[in-house]
Homo-oligomer: A and B are copies of this chain.
Amino acid sequence: MTAPKAKARGRPRSETSATAVLDAAYRLCADGGLRDASIQAIAAESRVSKMTVYKWWGGRLPLLIDAYLRQATLMLPISESLAPADAIHVHAQQYLVALQGELGRVQLAVLAECLSENGDAGLFVERYLSVRRTLGAQIIRQGQRDGTIGSVRPAEALYDQIYGTMFYRFLFGFQSLDEAFVRALVDATFADAAAAIPVIPTDRTAR
């Protein structure tokens, strides 16, 4: 517990600047890719000084991750009011749409920056994937408890199967990643057992 009530001394951090920076980072990344999202450009775009950026994030990678995280959280909420299986269905469809739009491009940029900087995707997993995965797995476990989801395999395995498959096809630009495929993927994953066949990328069109 690092005393959260430590009555902040001095001028408080400007939250306006913080969001302006995150917005600019996301926007530049989405529009022009990593190349256009230099820290200089982000600072200029958001009318914030470079120093402030370096002070709060320390580099481009942490900044991009935050920018991505913020948007992903906004755009891909996991409903808590729906039945578990439906919640995942809805969320996976949203993810599909998001991947094919700006968020997808930004996600690849973040991943690239992470690999460039660290040599592995560790930080991306730690700051993003693991969080989402835990959240998603909780929903799935809930569905398993109330019987909506038939499969008894570990919730994480089911989560990986759904989102991992989608990500793989997205990353390498393989076709046949559409609404129907995702619906079948989720259904099959949850049903498991005999119906498991369609789970695997059918890919009849090949590429």
Residues of chain A at the chain B interface (Cβ within 8 Å): 33-35, 105, 108-109, 111-122, 125, 129-130, 153-157, 160-161, 164-165, 167-168, 171-176, 178, 180-181, 184-185, 187-189, 191-207
A108-B119 contact in complex given A154-B206, A192-B197, C-beta closer than 8 Å: yes
Bound state CA distance, A168 and B173, in angstroms? 14
| A157 & B119 in contact (Cβ 8 Å cutoff) | no
Of the A-B pairs whose beta carbons lie under 8 Å apart in the complex, a sample of 7, sorted by A's number, is A153-B203, A154-B206, A164-B201, A176-B206, A181-B200, A185-B200, A202-B205
- Which residues from chain B contact A165 at a C-beta distance below 8 Å? 164, 200-201
- A115 partner, pick from B111, B119, B181, beta carbons under 8 A: B111
| B113 & A116 in contact (Cβ 8 Å cutoff) | yes
Of chain B, the residue at the smallest CB distance from A174 is B160
Bound state CA distance, A173 and B129, in angstroms? 11
| A184 & B168 in contact (Cβ 8 Å cutoff) | no
Main secondary structure of the interface of A (DSSP, over half): helix
Give, as a whole number of angstroms, the nearest-CB distance from A206 to chain B: 3
| B176 & A201 in contact (Cβ 8 Å cutoff) | no
- Which residues from chain B contact A120 at a C-beta distance below 8 Å? 108, 173
Given known contacts A184-B202, A200-B201, what 10 new A-B pairs fall within 8 Å (CB)?
A120-B173, A121-B171, A154-B202, A157-B202, A157-B204, A168-B168, A193-B195, A193-B198, A193-B199, A203-B204
- Which residues from chain B contact A122 at a C-beta distance below 8 Å? 173
- Which residues from chain B contact A116 at a C-beta distance below 8 Å? 33-35, 109, 112-113, 116
| A207 & B119 in contact (Cβ 8 Å cutoff) | no
| A203 & B176 in contact (Cβ 8 Å cutoff) | yes
- A157 partner, pick from B108, B189, B193, B200, beta carbons under 8 A: B200
- Which residues from chain B contact A164 at a C-beta distance below 8 Å? 165, 168, 201
